[in-house]
Amino acid sequence: MRLRVEFTTEPFDLDEAPAHAVVARDVVTGAELDAVDVGPFGNTAEGDAERVLDAVNALLRESLQAGATRVSLQVNVIGEAAGSGEGDAT
């Protein structure tokens, strides 16, 4: 199964990326996920379910530890994993 995660961390700082946002970005860019897109108001990444779920776990733990007061996220099933024999159901 493939998943897409969309997330934001707060509080926002438009002048400089807060430590919790940098940590969250580092987690998703280092998690070997596909289609990673990070921005000032929202971030997305896609990949195999296990990798996405592991990244979400690390993202929550590390960004909260780095000072996030809120983490908003949404996880969607977007299809079957490549090579699963089920085809792409996106």
Give the CATH number, domain containing residue 8: 3.30.70.930
Number of Cβ atoms within 10 Å of the Cβ of 42: 11
| Residue in 27, 14, 23, 20 with CA at minimum distance from that of residue 70 | 20
| 10 domain-assigned | yes
Amino acid at 74: Q
Is residue 90 very low, low, confident or very high in pLDDT (cuts 50, 70, 90)?
very low
Read off the pLDDT of each residue in 43-50 and give the average, rounded to a whole number.
96
Domain housing 18: 2-78
Q: What is the mean pLDDT of residues 13-39?
A: 91
Q: Which two tokens stand for residue 72?
A: 């908003």
- pLDDT for residue 89: 46
Q: Is residue 90 part of a domain?
A: no
Residue 86, SS3 per DSSP: coil
Q: What is the pLDDT of residue 2?
A: 97
Assigned domain for 72 exists: yes
Q: What is residue 39's predicted lDDT score, i.e. its pLDDT?
A: 80
Average pLDDT over residues 56-74: 97
